[in-house]
Structure formats: C-alpha cells, structure tokens
Amino acid sequence: MTNFRTFTLLLALASLAACNKPAKTGEQKAASSAATDTTGLGKKPGWWKETVVYQLYPRSFQDSNGDGVGDIKGIISRLDYVKSLGVNVIWLNPSYASPNADNGYDISDYRQIQPEYGTMADFDVLLKGLHQRGVKLVMDLVVNHSSDEHAWFKQARTSRTNPYYHYYHWWPAEKGKPPHRYSAFDVNDDAWAYNKATNSYYLHYFAAKQPDLNWENPKLRQEIYSMMRFWFDKGIDGFRMDVIPFISKDTTFPAIPE
C-alpha cells in the first residue's frame, strides 16, 4: 500500500499549533531557547530538519504478552535499545483505534489507543520514557479520511440533513453518475461509493472503508484542530501528516479529461 501513499513529512509542532497556546512547561521553554543560536549568526535549524528519526510500526515491533501482536508495552521494554541506536525521534505509525482495513490508517477514534496495542495509560508511560531518554515522539496522523466506522461517518451516512453529512464529500445520485475520480484501492478504480440511505455517493481516494473528510467545512477543521491539541497537551512533539496533499479538493468535481 505504501506504493500508493504519498509520505509528506509535515511536523505540526506545539508552537505552531492552531491554538497558539504558550508553552506550559519549563522543558518546552528550554527547548525554545535551545533553538536560538547564541553565536549571532541567527537561529539554528529546527530540530525536525537535522535529526535521526526511527520509524516504528507497533504491530510488528515487540509483543509483550505473547498474543502475536506488537504493543506499546513491548515498545517500552525496548526504549534503551532504541536510544542506543542514536535515535533522536520516534515516528510512531498509527496507534489510534481502528478496524484495521488499512493497517491503522483508517481511524475510527482519534482520541483512543488501538486496544490491541494497549491503553492510554500505556501510551503515557511510553511518552514519559522517551522524554526521559531525550527522545522525541512524532505520531502519524491521517486527516484526509477517516474510517467508515468513525462516529462522524456513521452519523453522516444516515441522512442528508444530519450535520455530520457535510464532514464528508458527497455527490447526489439525482445529478447522475459522479465525475470519475481514481482510487487505486477499488477493483474498478472508482473513488465513489453509493450510500442508499442518503441516495448519494461518497468520495474515497483510498478504500471504500476510508471516506474522505471535507476540509472545506469549518466545523470539521475545528474538530481536527481540537484533536491535535489533545495530543499536544499530552506532550507529544509533533505529527507526521499522512497523504496531506489530498485534503485539497475542488468540491465542484469538474470532469477530468481522459
């Protein structure tokens, strides 16, 4: 699947977050001061530009309980090993609640940990352990689409009058067949899927179980910003934004010449 996924590294740092809240801890203030060069030659490059990043996929990294699935406690048990590699940043692949139609890139709850991986308490221990070793944590985040099992989409697909309907991209069936959009995850290469309850098609650039979020909706944007703030307040150091170019769409969906 990675052959079809554009990996754009966009680290949304706490200082650049939508809320623009001041740093809350001495550690954060110290990090800000450290970014300033005292030689008089200007600021040093941001830490995310010159650092050693270790990508970590929880499911296959370390299993702590013998169930055949890697988990957060398994990662915790290997933190000294990770540090010994000279790693400065852990890039943690999706660890949110997910039905796993796309290896966790189909998120059903952005504020919960995938139960197979552990609990939020486990995550907090992991984050603390990394920071104690001087290692930052960057989380994978997918906001081009959600899982079709996310509460937003479950509501959206019930009625056109449901407020969550506009959290996603739709094409009314009475307008005829939607203009072609390509999905490499569909057997017919079709990025539109019909939803009977609303008599409309929803857009999915990836799998049909991954409906695209509508970034033209201000309410949707605020939901995303609030969710990101939730994780920043926990103390994570940034996000790696998956397939982020795809969030920009012409919502009139003009025909594309073949």
pLDDT in tens, the chain (258 residues): 443 343 344 344 433 333 334 444 444 443 444 344 444 456 778 888 889 999 999 999 999 999 999 999 999 999 999 999 999 999 999 999 999 999 999 999 999 999 999 999 999 999 999 999 999 999 999 999 999 999 999 999 999 999 999 999 999 999 999 999 999 898 889 999 999 999 999 999 999 999 999 999 999 999 999 999 999 999 999 999 999 999 999 999 999 886
Q: Beta-carbon neighbour count of residue 84 at 10 Å? A: 10
Query: Within a domain: residue 109?
Result: yes
Q: What is the largest CA-CA distance in the chain?
A: 66
Query: Within a domain: residue 155?
Result: no
Closest CA to 242 of 75, 85, 8: 8
Please report the pLDDT score of residue 42 as a whole number: 62
Query: Within a domain: residue 15?
Result: no
Query: Within a domain: residue 102?
Result: yes
Q: pTM of the full predicted structure?
A: 0.84
Q: What is the CATH number of the domain that holds 222?
A: 3.20.20.80
Please report the pLDDT score of residue 9 as a whole number: 44
Query: Within a domain: residue 166?
Result: no
- Which amino acid is it at 56? L
Please report the pLDDT score of residue 242 as a whole number: 97
Give the long-range contacts of residues 214-221, CB within 8 A, separation 24 or more: 214/166, 214/167, 214/168, 214/169, 214/251, 215/247, 215/248, 215/249, 216/249, 216/251, 217/166, 217/167, 219/163, 219/166, 219/167, 220/166, 220/167
Query: Within a domain: residue 2?
Result: no
Query: Within a domain: residue 32?
Result: no
Which domain range does residue 102 map to? 49-146+215-246
Domain count, the chain: 1
**Three-state SS at 162:** coil
Query: Within a domain: residue 131?
Result: yes
